Structure 1
Amino acid sequence: MENFEAIDHWLAYNKAASIDELAAASARYNGLSFNNTLAADRQGETFYTDDSNVPDLSPAALEWLRTDPYTAAVFASTGQVVLPGDRSDMIFTGAIDFDNSPSLRRRDYVQNSNDSFWLSNPEQPIRDVSPLFGKVDAKQSERSRYAHELLNTQRGRDGRFDLSELEKVILGNGSYYANQRAVVGGLCQHYSGQTLVLSEQVSAQVDPICAAFAQWDGQFNLDSKAAHLAREFFRALDTSQDFVVPFDATQPTTTPHTLKSERTILEKLLSAGVNLQHYGFALDAPYGEIQYLHKGNERMAWPGPDHSSGGFNMFAPANGMDLTSFAKPAPTPLTSIVDGQPLWSELTRDGYEVNYGSSWMMVVGFDYWGPVAKGLLLHSQSANRDSAHFSDSSRRYAQQGGLITLPFYPWQIALSAISSTKLIVKKD
């Protein structure tokens, strides 16, 4: 679709002084291509919208998308819409307007963790919008479920988040699956002393791998032992088959849950262990020896879980893509010695090389005078390897130094200025 309003749309967002003005900007312009927009004001109101530039399909086209078997199957599996090109009633005439886009205002919270608009707040699910915006009644990612859990368990005694509590959440390296350790421990105890056959060529002793997994503290910090074993194990889980309670659209933020206490679950842990051992990784190594960021010629130990581990603050190699200017393309992932398939965790012989994930972090609150903000650009600001700012923010994050206070008022900006440049444009 043509999109000539992106600059005006973003400028209006940046100039908005209230949620009403932000919503008005969304109603006036249709220049966003894919973004979820979330905002909060000092009065305690929150706002969410997916005001993406989405085609406004006719009722006939929507009915075709829903009922034609081929079209419905393609849309369900790929998200792509394939409509007959020989029918004029299938041609869209413009973009869906703001009033018919997903949006929500709440006094408690709104959130989005890269899932659809549906559960921006589970107390008030969003429905009755075009299916092109995303799915409803669909299984949520581990990251989304963990986000809802954190919102409900990490608030202060007053039921709200202050700035320090919010910073602790977004910098946290916990895992949605950490509470499954008891199930795994029970399986380890039941099969203790045994050697299980994993394939025609591979068997594994239960006790050494289970002993390593027992050392995992449920976190993905630099000093967390066996976190890479947990990561490989979680990546192998099938959320459609491996849990006692399956996905339930009426309980979408907590299902599926509870690992099955079955031998197949333990076999997945053992497979993770033998693969790591085969490629030379100590099972109880600290995570800082396994996951890293390349900045220039420096290998920087890097904390943080991946998406499939149920991490909120997540990182990944991302198939060698460099989506956040983190690093050079990652090496080729390894292959499982159990089934010959690629390790979809994208483990390489060097470990996990981060080049995707959390990038710009920011928390904002309000004091008596106005906004108070802290933030950090994790991949650092400068692309110049000779600059002091080529890796300073990255190192601060890697050493878990916390966010930096951001200037807002003119006097704060003046005090924080390092240098200034005056540009003069001369017209002929």
Structure 2
Amino acid sequence: MTWLKGSAIALAGAVGLGVAGLAAWEPFFAHAAAAPAAPRTYAAEIIRDDYGVPHIYGDTDPDVAFGVAVAHAEDDFFTLQDVIAMSRGRYGAIAGEDGAKVDFVYHLIDARGTAAREFPKLPRETRALLEAYAAGLNHYASQHPGEIKLADLFPVNGEDIAAGFALRQPFFFGLDSVIGPLVAGKPLRPEHGPDIPGFPREKIGDGSAVAAAAAPTRAGRRLVLPLGEEAEHLGSNAFAVRPEKSGGPTTLISNSHQPLRGGVAWYELVVESGEGWHFAGANFPGSPFPFLGHNEDLGWTNTVNRPDMIDVYQLELDASGTRYKLDGAWRDLETREVILPVKVGPLVLPVPRTVHRSVHGPVIVNDKGAFAIRYGGMGKLDQLDAYYRLNKARDLSEWQGQLARMAIPSTNFIYADKAGNIAYVYNAALPARPELDAVTADWRSVLPGNRSDLIWQGAVGYDRLPKLINPASGWIYNANNEPWTAAGARDDLKPADFSPVLGIEEKQTNRSRRAYKLLSEADKLDRATLARIKYDTGYERAGYVATLWDALAKLKATGQLAEARDLLLTWDFAADGKHPADSLALLVIRDFMSAEYGNKPMPDVAEKLQAASDHLTEHFGRLDPPMGELLRLRQGKRDLPLDGGSDTLRASTTWDVAEDGRLSLKHGDSFIQWVEWLPGQPVRSQSIQPFGAATTRPASPHYTDQMKLFVDHKLKPVHFWRTDVVSHARARYRVTNRS
């Protein structure tokens, strides 16, 4: 972005810095950013199973957290360093302009200030966990100095780990989609409001207009900052089934859709301590504990929800631009200068930026004025403690007690346990907005910043969130859809029972339509039936799919474009690699899905069809190559065919286009875990990753060893119990920071 590059070059010329100075200033400048914690001795045992998945054991929970950091660094120290650099505002020194965007947001939302203020308030045992995790990273870094890619990045401490959470947590509900347009001075799209002409809302089965999914909503606005994922394509599927519906076990299926690589790619692990922490699941780089999975008694998974948790206020500034009016009085706008490191070739240039803050929250000043942002969970880090407690919860009541704290800012939770309970919670720190009429305050638009009564405090109570416990249908699902379709027609919640001020989204996905239909039609949801649903590749002719196909049917075309149109009109709406139109459909559909997810105008059908046709004829010499030749799972030298599509339950969502014209999957089905509790039997589970445990270690046997299972719709066993782990051990060793 030129807003970085131009100022960096100008600054470099103005101060007359030499090449040596430009190369050396950044680590020197950052050297004192984080001091190491007081020394403590940690010791953990790591056992790696047949697939290299680490099972980490320790006498205490901090011992285990230390081992989690070491094990993850052994497999992906490359990505962990990126995450640590983000948590210290230094990512631009690694990733250039893209990294500097993240660093700007780090300063704008005051991630470090939040960590410095809130980390000491966390319970002692939670702080100890984060300090131990930091010690594990420091230990690995000290033992492998040749792998370090940024000087003085280590040592780190617990506050650094907390700062990483403070930075990343609001991006899961779309903060980037507000910051991006405001920085660029672009208009914000309207959010959840009344029906927009031409885009009425749609409910499953009500026969209303098919273009509902295109209705703009603020929660869906996206301008991606490079935190490792394409926010426009966030997604996941989750299923929970009671024994009476499955005919046997209580079942929990976690089917998260995350990037296959990077800072929010799943890392699988099993942890067990002498203090009762025993959990199998997955975390993101930079976390000492799993975010989803199961213990002996219960488990949960998550899907991204899209509530309106962000409000924007336009401030009234005085002539100097240094004060804003609130309740008739002028207040000083908090302003500070920050330096963004920006890597350009061999140099790291210092780029000055100004960040502002009002009592509302972060402030962005552009040529249209000054805009303050307030969002759910702002300035809080309670989620660090809540996730830790969830890992150790033993029953539904204890588990709900942690969610009831409203500490975890967003994401749906789908739950199951050994007692046969299942649950769905539309979890979100929904702002406690005053119930005012639209004339007084339209929460769907930019709000006046001169009224303190519009500055809400905290979140609504847990009792006001949509939730379902043990519905009569015996099943629950979510596929990033509105909470009004979750358990079947008899049990579904009614939107009229929830205030519109809560900002709950009203939107479906194709995955939701398919799951709802298939689950509702099934007499029994046994393992075979659930597997067919989970790996379903079908599309419903509804929403943006119907919009696209209706436009195709009306499209006037000749030549190759007409041939492509006619081929698509014969399609069977299944991305299973069996129809000659599959490749063409795969290429065309994704941008329409993206428009729906991002609440953008639908693309031009002729333009997208022409581009897809040109791509296929250029690289394959035909319009109908087998989809498996086009869509690939690639890692190192392994190159395998894939099925599934954008927004199918078997998700192959986004990809990179390689030089040979093939599509290399980068986001979609990622960590999958299938958990079962049979009456009177210990929990058992299976899982799979797209590549393997060691995602950035090409020399490791676990770099690609799960790929064939993944493309074949197969799972591998999770060795939850120690006796089982030991019998499948391929490596077993102890790690400690003792000198």
- Structure 1: unaligned runs, 5 residues or longer: 75-81, 241-263, 319-329, 332-346
1:285 equivalent in structure 2: 625
Is 1:402 the counterpart of 2:714? The answer is yes
| AA partner of residue 23 (structure 1) | Q
> How many Å apart are 1:160 and its aligned residue?
3.0
d(CA) in 1 for partners of 2:409, 2:391 = 17
Is 1:13 the counterpart of 2:390? The answer is yes
Aligned alpha-carbon RMSD (Å): 3.9
Structure 2 matches for 1:142-291, cutoff 5 A?
142-153=510-521, 155=522, 159-177=523-541, 197-198=556-557, 203-204=559-560, 210=566, 214=570, 218-222=573-577, 224-232=579-587, 234=589, 274-281=613-620, 282-291=622-631
2:401 equivalent in structure 1: 24
1:377 equivalent in structure 2: 689
1:93 equivalent in structure 2: 457
> How many Å apart are 1:378 and its aligned residue?
1.9
2:200 equivalent in structure 1: none
d(CA) in 1 for partners of 2:448, 2:392 = 42
1:377–1:393 contact (8 Å) kept in structure 2: yes
d(CA) in 1 for partners of 2:672, 2:628 = 21
Structure 1 residues 403 and 49, CA gap change in structure 2 (3 angstroms): same
1:229–1:273 contact (8 Å) kept in structure 2: yes
> How many Å apart are 1:145 and its aligned residue?
0.6
Structure 1 residues 290 and 90, CA gap change in structure 2 (3 angstroms): same
Is 1:362 the counterpart of 2:673? The answer is yes
2:650 equivalent in structure 1: 313
d(CA) in 1 for partners of 2:676, 2:402 = 23
Is 1:2 the counterpart of 2:339? The answer is no
> How many Å apart are 1:352 and its aligned residue?
2.7
Of 426, 431, 448, the residue aligned with 1:84 is 448
1:58–1:91 contact (8 Å) kept in structure 2: no
Q: Deviations over 1:341-366 (max 9, x none)?
A: xxxxxx99714331111111122222
Q: Deviations over 1:245-277 (max 9, x none)?
A: xxxxxxxxxxxxxxxxxxx99x79975774455
Q: Deviations over 1:62-108 (max 9, x none)?
A: x35x8656x53x4xxxxxxx332221111122122322222211242
> How many Å apart are 1:203 and its aligned residue?
4.0
Structure 1 residues 277 and 24, CA gap change in structure 2 (3 angstroms): closer
1:115 equivalent in structure 2: 481
**In structure 2, the residue corresponding to 1:392 is in which secondary structure?**
coil
1:166–1:363 contact (8 Å) kept in structure 2: no
1:233–1:268 contact (8 Å) kept in structure 2: no
1:146–1:176 contact (8 Å) kept in structure 2: yes
Higher-strand-fraction structure: 2
* Range 297-306 or range 359-368, more displaced: 297-306
> How many Å apart are 1:211 and its aligned residue?
5.6
Q: Deviations over 1:34-64 (max 9, x none)?
A: 211001234443211122233222234xx35
**In structure 1, the residue corresponding to 2:447 is in which secondary structure?**
coil
d(CA) in 2 for partners of 1:294, 1:349 = 13
* Range 44-53 or range 228-237, more displaced: 228-237
**In structure 2, the residue corresponding to 1:173 is in which secondary structure?**
coil
1:361–1:376 contact (8 Å) kept in structure 2: yes
**In structure 2, the residue corresponding to 1:176 is in which secondary structure?**
coil
1:54–1:95 contact (8 Å) kept in structure 2: yes
Of 635, 641, 654, the residue aligned with 1:301 is 641
Structure 1 residues 86 and 208, CA gap change in structure 2 (3 angstroms): closer
2:390–2:399 contact (8 Å) kept in structure 1: yes
d(CA) in 1 for partners of 2:417, 2:728 = 25
Between structure 1 and structure 2, the one with the greater Rg is 2
> How many Å apart are 1:290 and its aligned residue?
0.7
| AA partner of residue 225 (structure 1) | P
d(CA) in 2 for partners of 1:85, 1:208 = 52
| AA partner of residue 396 (structure 1) | L
Q: Deviations over 1:209-245 (max 9, x none)?
A: 646864x56532355533112334545879x9xxxxx
Structure 1 residues 58 and 4, CA gap change in structure 2 (3 angstroms): same
| AA partner of residue 634 (structure 2) | H
1:140 equivalent in structure 2: 508
TM-score by length of 2: 0.41
2:723 equivalent in structure 1: 411
**In structure 2, the residue corresponding to 1:317 is in which secondary structure?**
strand
2:619–2:661 contact (8 Å) kept in structure 1: no
Of 419, 424, 446, the residue aligned with 1:48 is 424
| AA partner of residue 529 (structure 2) | E
2:189 equivalent in structure 1: none
1:350 equivalent in structure 2: 661
> How many Å apart are 1:387 and its aligned residue?
1.0
TM-score by length of 1: 0.67
> How many Å apart are 1:416 and its aligned residue?
2.9
| AA partner of residue 376 (structure 1) | I
2:485–2:516 contact (8 Å) kept in structure 1: no
**In structure 2, the residue corresponding to 1:358 is in which secondary structure?**
strand
* Range 382-391 or range 108-117, more displaced: 108-117
> How many Å apart are 1:304 and its aligned residue?
1.4
d(CA) in 2 for partners of 1:167, 1:16 = 28
Q: Structure with the greater relative contact order (CA < 8 A, sep ≥ 6): 1 or 2?
A: 2
- Structure 2: unaligned runs, 5 residues or longer: 1-377, 596-603
d(CA) in 1 for partners of 2:718, 2:400 = 26
1:245 equivalent in structure 2: none
2:690–2:706 contact (8 Å) kept in structure 1: yes
**In structure 2, the residue corresponding to 1:360 is in which secondary structure?**
strand
Q: Deviations over 1:167-201 (max 9, x none)?
A: 332233333349x99xx8xx99xx9xxxx843xxx
d(CA) in 1 for partners of 2:507, 2:735 = 52
2:433–2:502 contact (8 Å) kept in structure 1: no
Structure 2 matches for 1:121-132, cutoff 5 A?
121-123=487-489, 124-127=492-495, 128-129=497-498, 131=500
